[in-house]
Amino acid sequence: MTSPLLLYKVAATPRWRVGWEERVSLELPPRPQGEPVFWIHAVSVGEVIAVSPLVEALRKAYPQAAIYLSTVTETGKETALERVGRFIDHHLFLPLDWAPFVSRVVKRISPHLFAVVETEIWPNLLRSLALKGAQIILVNGRISPSSFEGYSKALPFLKYVWRYFQCMAMQSSRDAARILALGAPNEKVVVAGNLKYDQALIQLEEVDSREVRRRFCLTQDEEVVVAGSTHPGEEELILDAFISLREEFPRLTLILAPRHPRRRDEVESVLRDRGMAWVRRTQIERRRGEPVILLDTVGELAAAYSVARVALVGGSWIDRGGHNPLEPAFFAKPVLMGPSYFNFKDMVEDLKRGGGIRIVPSGYLRKEMRSLLTGIEETHSLGERARRVLMKNRGALDRHMELIQGVLRSP
């Protein structure tokens, strides 16, 4: 991509205009104050959440280190500062992948280790890092079916890029097979597990459901459905089921969390069309019993699952591949998802094998929700099985730390 196109992207796209000085390296990050220097790149919210336990572990293992965390999106930055702000020295927006931009930033930070989360490939950045002597690793690596199809068209290019990596730590054997099929050297690929299994534990252990109820102005007799990470078309489906169920369960309350909080006005239009009263989370002190709480903040969804009677995980009733079901599983909540979960296939399949999740076609959503609202024993059993699956899959964090320490010891 040539520089005029890069600059046009910054000027024309609102999400790229945020932090544009950093993206074109007109504003450089501060020089590192500490040794060693780690630079971790997590493109957006999901990747930041996944890598949070690794950032915390690096800080504990290397208290004198300088840790930089880069993202591409503004919501990614917000999540990073909220979740791991106290463990990092600086956040930066990733510079646009053009040699004059990335080389200035790489020279400034001069990291000993560059860790990229979930297979982000920026060739000019990787080349500049390698020339500067950085050890480059892939952590929590994942190759989705759609990414595999796209990457398959660029095999010669990928074989050139893989040489920059010292290690590729993949989430599953399926991800490892895909990256090997894309030309990655066999000796560099390992299966280290999914950091999200450890993230769910580390980040949520201190959540107090009683405090969450107070924060959301929920009374003790309200039964809560939490619908997380929803996309256009899913809010309508969920609201239709919820409105119908409220005729039988008048104290039923919905916490509705769109995947992108900027869609707040759009979701409010859907609520208005269905005659539902709601209150925004940012205005929760005004709540007077409205049956819908619209979660328009970043970083509170995971804790909200702690008060759920039923958890719905969005992105799965449309063709988006689903979102992370582990946060409700941590709280032993019964999880319902739609049939589109290819982005979390291994995780969902683990839960299915352990009897800890139900995959529900859109036409059966109301029926399954009612089943869980009426069957206390069934609801409890499903949630407990989900938590057992999560606990069984712990350990990815320790394996990642061992790999990083080994890479840092290598010449």
The residue assigned the tokens 């840092």 is 408
Contact criterion met (CB below 8 Å) for 101 and 29: no
Annotated catalytic residue within 47, 74, 234, 368: 47
Going edge to edge, which strands form the sheet with 278-280? 278-280, 292-294, 252-258, 223-230, 310-313, 335-337, 358-359
C-alpha to C-alpha distances, 5 to 12, 73, 105, nearest whole angstrom: 10, 19, 20
**What backbone torsions phi and psi does residue 306 show, to the nearest 5 degrees?**
-65, -20
- Residue 248 catalytic? no
Report the amino acid identity of residue 124: N
- Answer whether the bond into residue 36 is a cis peptide, omega within 30°: yes
Q: How many CB atoms lie within 10 A of CB 2?
A: 8
Pairing mode, strands 252-258 and 167-170:
unpaired
Contact criterion met (CB below 8 Å) for 362 and 317: yes
Q: Which two tokens stand for residue 376?
A: 């206390």
* DSSP label at residue 154: G
Alpha helices in 298-344 (DSSP H): 301-304, 326-330
**CA-based max dimension of the chain:** 67
Contact criterion met (CB below 8 Å) for 184 and 162: yes
Q: How far apart are CA 53 and CA 58, in angstroms?
A: 9
The residue assigned the tokens 């930089």 is 68
**What backbone torsions phi and psi does residue 407 show, to the nearest 5 degrees?**
-65, -40
Q: How many angstroms from the chain centroid is the CA of residue 184?
A: 25
Contact criterion met (CB below 8 Å) for 195 and 396: yes
Helix (H) or strand (E) holding 311: strand 310-313
Known catalytic residues are 47
